[in-house]
Amino acid sequence: MPKFMSAETALQRLVEDEKAPVSARCEALRQLDHPPLALLRRLLVDTAQRKTPVPARLKSIAALAYARELALRKLKPRKQNPVGITNSLGIV
């Protein structure tokens, strides 16, 4: 296990920190190349557990990033096993 966290992990934690300034949270979200969809969903969805609402600026950046990530996933589908090739367990 690494001793220090990666830069992406630190940026993700800053984005989700409710006590951090809005401008820092927005800049951290912009710096993430490919933010996880789960992180973006957490920012976009309003839940009863959320005590303070997500700032509008952060929410709009998250919506744009979510749309971009979905578009990238549609352009580059996941790799599938070629026909006839199975793994060692025989599962295709």
Q: Please, what is the average pLDDT of the chain?
A: 88
Total-model pTM: 0.77
For tokens 């710096």, the residue is 31
| The two structure tokens encoding residue 89 | 């367990």
83 — pLDDT class (breaks 50, 70, 90): low
| Beta strand ranges found along 5-91 (DSSP E) | none
49 — pLDDT class (breaks 50, 70, 90): confident
Residue 84 pLDDT exceeds 90 = no
| The two structure tokens encoding residue 53 | 């609402």
Phi and psi based region of residue 76 (left: phi greater than 0; alpha: psi -120 to 50; beta: remaining) = beta
2 — pLDDT class (breaks 50, 70, 90): confident
Q: How many CB atoms lie within 10 A of CB 77?
A: 7
Between CA 25 and CA 18 the distance in angstroms is 9
